[in-house]
Amino acid sequence: MMIVPRRTAPGCNPRALFCVLAVVAVRRLSARVRAKREMCGTMASVTCYLSFMVPKRSDRMKRKLFSVALLLVVLLLAFGGPAQAQDKTLYWQRYDVEITVQKNGDLRVTETQELVFTSGAFRYGQREIELTRLAGISDVVVNELGKQQYRRSDVDAEYTYRVFQEGNRLKVRYNFPPTTDARRTIVIAYTVSGALRYYPDKGVDQLFWKAIPAGNPFPTQNSTITLRVPEPATFTNYGLYGAQGDATFQPGQREAVIRVKGRINAGQEVETVAEWQHGIVGGAPQPWQQQLDQEAERRAAGEQRKAQWGPVLNLTFGAVGGLLALGGPVLLYLWWYNKGRDRPVGLIADYLPEPPSDLPAGVVGTLLDESADLDDIVASLLDLARRGVIEIEEVKEPGFLGIGSSTDFIYRKTNSNVPLRPYEETLLKEVFEGRAERELSDLKNEFYRAIPTLRKQLYQEVVSEGFFKRSPETTRTQVGCLGGATLGLTFLVGAGLIAALGSLAEAAVCVPIGMGVIAIGIMILARYMPRRTEKGAEAVARWRAFKRYLQNLEKYTKVEDAATIFDRFLPYAVAFGLQNDFIRKFSEVDAPVPTWWIPAGYPRPYYGGDARPADAGGRIPGRAAPMPVEGGRSVPSLEGMSRGMGASLASMSAGLGSMLSSAGRTLTSQPGSSGGGRGSGFSGGGFSGGGGFSGGGSGGGGSSFG
């Protein structure tokens, strides 16, 4: 079977294309010369011929295009030429190996390689032989059938060869005249010492030799391997690994001829094995054989243990892993049911039109979702504004040349006599930092430092109110750490089991898998383990009824009749995450704007007086009656300022969210960061020796050409 060499596709050969274009160019130039000669006559004047040297514009354009095309061809030739030059191919028509076992235990190996060069020019070949599992190689001779004898030389010249060692390989380089599309039959012979295996206790000697090495870069069409032993030894078995052999074992043979069936692919290794009576061939076991036999004994003992204990261990580990993977989630559910589930509370009411208590909005938000988050902090700010502690003014600055504008918000203290909870005092302290007023933009990249303290104090509030026995965050952290510890234990147990028993039982991996399911389940369950007290469960039921009222306000009452509640209920809407829908509903019924909110473009105070809390006398916040202001204007309503109000709330949330993002980047930043089987084809029975095939045979290596 001939291997078709790789060639450049028709029409893509750069040299041929260059020649064609060159011929076309010469013909075009000759045609122009002949035409101009006929035009100018035989006694042409200098002026006539000079006109030929100055072509028209169209001719100049054509010449430019032709020059560009010619340049592209030259570049293609420059870059495509080396690639084509590297496209060298060959194959072995036959690769025959003769191995003669000598009386002293040495091997005389003769390789007959019939090479067919199909593409490219070749000047040398190189045979590489691995020096593992042998004592040495000597008496290397290279010849070529039908040619003059090769001589050994340290200089690479035609019909010479040299032998040298690089690392753990012996290399034989043979040089021949430049060869293209031809055949050469190279014969390489060498003597190998210390490559046999001796087993006196078994009464046999063995040969393992890689006749066709895995390092051959091209395929082999035919191969015949011949084995010989000295008299009176006879083969007790022989065969091949890596390919099928066409030979039948017959007792009493001193010569075995094995023909490899089929084609040997590039990179395919073929190893021959043989066995004969001990005591006829001289020699003693080499150190590499002793090491190989010890490894084989360990593997055999391991296989015996696996056959004895493997089924029992696989069944045990599989059962334990399945029990953990299936029973673990059930146990976790029972744990949550008994230790993390709130006491069931019946439906107190479908809805409540008023807050169940005077609990601040930030604390209510923490109670409902068991988490002190950004919504609770924003709700606390609005609750302080509702109670007259602060007011918020919207400020717009025109952009450059009056194009566009920028919006900011000023927080201003108005009353310091209102009783405050600890987290509210901290909130005011961190927002104002001792000042009377402060812009929201000033809080960027600064306020995040206060968030951990505020969250901790909000958790303390729900505990002090009797809603939880301990902080929900503490419960989540402890359960999460338990899950992390279980996951770490899973890795340790898994590594230990696989290292100790993995070779005996593949099912050992089932145990860490089951443990991993439990560990991940614990970490997921951590967020659901905070448990409210009986008081907390009842409070949650009532506040959820109030939340349903705010969610479905138009269902339970007329929004225009409830317009006066906007100021009081806005902080709770923020804590519940309903602020956008809440503002939209009230903006449609012309609800009055809270007195603590000063939109951009309106004088301060636009209600005729400073904002005051409901218990400070005068008007209740959110119930301001429209009254004239300077210039005869009436008090603005939500219909006119809902867009500004919504923008303010969105801006506050976005601003505080930016602080939280900055906190995350800062806390997580680090120095240097930017912040943020061989096949078997035996002809006879099994081998009786101790080493067997374990670890492979001697020889091997590969070939290369150039």
- pLDDT tens digits, 156-209: 999 999 999 999 999 999 999 999 999 999 999 999 999 999 999 999 999 999
Is the Cβ–Cβ distance between 568 and 594 less than 8 Å?
A: no
Tell whether the model's pLDDT for residue 448 goes beyond 50.
yes
Contacts for 80 with CB less than 8 Å, ≥ 6 apart? 14
- The mean pLDDT value for 202-225 works out to 94
378 pLDDT higher than 90:
no
pLDDT tier for residue 118 given thresholds of 50, 70 and 90: very high
pLDDT band at residue 422 under the 50/70/90 scheme: very high
Sole residue written with tokens 């909110």: 597
Instruction: Give 581's contacts (C-beta < 8 A, 6+ positions apart).
Output: 551
Q: Of 29-43, 246-260, 444-458, 477-491, where does mean pLDDT reach its minimum?
A: 29-43
Residue 658 has pLDDT above 50, yes or no: no
User: Which pLDDT belongs to residue 299?
Assistant: 87
65-77 pLDDT per residue, tens: 566 566 665 565 5
pLDDT at 314 over 80: yes
Q: How much is the pLDDT for 558?
A: 80
* Confidence tier at 639 by pLDDT (50, 70, 90): very low
**Quick check: 212 pLDDT over 50?**
yes
442 has a pLDDT exceeding 50: yes
CB burial of residue 176 (10 Å; 0-12, 13-18, 19+): buried
Q: 116 or 36: whose pLDDT is higher? A: 116
Q: Which CATH class is domain 89-289?
A: mainly beta
**DSSP letter string over 384-447?**
HHHTTSEEEEEEEEE-GGG-SEEEEEEEEE--S-S---HHHHHHHHHHHTT-SEEEGGGGTTTG
Rg (CA), the chain: 47
Question: Does residue 611 carry a pLDDT above 60?
Answer: no
Phi, psi of 465 (to 5 degrees): -75, -5
pLDDT number for residue 265: 95
pLDDT tens digit sequence for 237-282: 998 988 887 777 778 889 999 999 999 999 999 999 999 999 999 9
The answer to which of 103-107, 211-215, 294-298, 642-646 has the lowest mean pLDDT is: 642-646
Q: Which of 260, 275, 172 is nearest to 705 (CA)?
A: 172
Does position 148 have pLDDT exceeding 90, yes or no? no
Q: How many CA atoms lie within 13 A of 705 on its CB side?
A: 25
What band does 595 get if pLDDT is binned at 50, 70 and 90?
A: confident
Instruction: Tokens for 670, please give them.
Output: 């680090």
Domain residue ranges in the chain: 1-29+45-87, 89-289, 361-469+531-665
Q: Biggest alpha carbon distance in the chain?
A: 132
Count CB atoms within 10 A of the CB of residue 418.
Answer: 14
Average pLDDT over the chain, rounded to an integer? 79
Q: Point out the least confidently predicted range of 250-259, 554-563, 615-624.
A: 615-624
The pLDDT, as a whole number, for residue 401 is 67
Residue 547: the pLDDT is 95
**pLDDT grade, residue 19 (50/70/90)?**
low
pLDDT bucket at 585, cuts 50 / 70 / 90: confident
Residue 591, φ and ψ in degrees, nearest 5: -75, 145
Exposed, middle or buried, 675 (CB in 10 Å: 0-12/13-18/19+)? exposed
Is the confidence at residue 504, as pLDDT, over 80? yes
What is the C-alpha to C-alpha distance for residues 204 and 11, in angstroms, rounded to an integer? 64
pLDDT for residue 622 is more than 70: no
Q: What is the mean pLDDT of residues 504-515?
A: 93
Per cent of the chain over pLDDT 70 is 73
Tell me the average pLDDT across 207-236. 94
Q: What is the mean pLDDT of residues 560-564?
A: 71
Give 265's DSSP letter. Answer: P
